[in-house]
Amino acid sequence: MKNILVPIGTSPDATETLQYAVDFATDFGAQVYVMEVFNITSKAGTLANVTEKVAESGKERLKGVIGQIDSKNIEIKIASYKGELVDGLKEIDKELGIDLIILAPRSNDIQEEVYLGYTSGKIVKQTNIPTLVVPKGTSYKPFHNILVAFKSGILKRKRILNPLITIAEKHRTEVNLLLVKTPGYSDDDLKINTALLDISSQLTITENATTYLGVLEHFQSKHPELLCVFRRKRGFFKKLWEKSTILKSEFSVPIPVLILSTKKD
Domains (range + CATH), the chain? 3-103 (3.40.50.620), 145-261 (3.40.50.620)
pTM, two decimal places: 0.84
| pLDDT single digits (tens) 48-71 | 444 454 456 567 878 888 989 999
Around 72, how many Cα atoms within 13 Å sit in the side-chain half-sphere? 15
> Backbone phi, then psi, for 15, in 5-degree steps?
-65, -35
Q: 128 and 230 in contact (C-beta within 8 Å)?
A: no
Q: Report pLDDT digits (tens) over 21-32.
A: 999 999 999 999
Distance (Å, whole) CA 112 – CA 136: 12
Note the pLDDT of residue 156.
80
**Under the phi-then-psi rule, with left for phi > 0, alpha for psi from -120 to 50, and beta for the rest, what region is 43?**
beta
* C-beta separation of 78 from 35 below 8 A: yes
Q: What is the pLDDT of residues 164-180, one digit of tens each?
A: 999 999 999 999 999 99
Q: What b/e sequence results for 226-248 when a residue is b if at least 16 CB atoms lie within 10 Å of its CB, and e otherwise?
A: bbbbbbbeebbbbebbeebbbee
Strand partners, 100: 4
Are residues 115 and 61 in contact, defined by beta-carbon separation less than 8 angstroms?
no
Range with the largest mean pLDDT of 7-11, 40-44, 91-95: 91-95
Closest CA to 251 of 128, 113, 147: 113
- The pLDDT assigned to 40 comes to 44
When pLDDT is averaged across residues 180-189 and rounded to a whole number, the result is 91
DSSP 3-state of 258: strand
- The whole-angstrom separation of Cα 154 and Cα 26 is 33
